[in-house]
Amino acid sequence: MKTEIHKIIIIVFGFALLGCSIIKKENISFKLERQKLLSKEFEMKLPTPFHIQKDNYEEGVIYFYSFVDSVYIIVFQGSMMEIPIDKYHPQKTEVKNQKKTSVGVENNKFWRKDVFEGVRIYYDNVSKRNKRIYDKVLDEIKVRSL
C-alpha cells in the first residue's frame, strides 16, 4: 500500500515538473533585432534578455550577443577576423540553399556556424535543453543586401 502511494506521489510530482518545464519554455519572450553590416542587413528574433556589443574594424563589422544562460551569438561580415569557433572541429557539415552549416560539441555544449551571402553567424555554449531555441534563431535569420 505504501509503495503504491509513493508511486502515485512520484508520478504526480513528475507530471508537475514536466508541466513546469513546458510552461517555462512557452513563456520565453523574443525581441526582433535588426542591424546593418557592411553590405548586408540582418534580422533575427532573439530570446530576451540579451546584451549586445558592436565592433567596427577596418575590414568588417561584428555583433556579439550574450544571454543570461551563457550562450553567445555572433553575426559577422568582413575579413581578417578569426573567431574561436572557427578552430572547432565540426561533427557535421551540410550545404543547403547556398548556406553552409557546421555543428558540433565543445566542452559538453553545442556550437553552430552558418555561412551564407558573405555573412558568418555563430552560436556557442548552448545546452541540450536550449538547443532548439537557438537553432530556431539561426534557422529563421534573414539577411538582405543594403
Domain boundaries, the chain: 29-145
Question: What pTM was estimated for this model as a whole?
Answer: 0.80
70 against 4, higher pLDDT: 70
Per-residue pLDDT tens over the stretch 20-35 = 444 345 588 999 999 9
Per-residue pLDDT tens over the stretch 57-95 = 888 999 999 999 999 999 999 987 788 899 999 999 999
Residue 7 above 90 pLDDT?
Answer: no
Cell of 93: 557539415
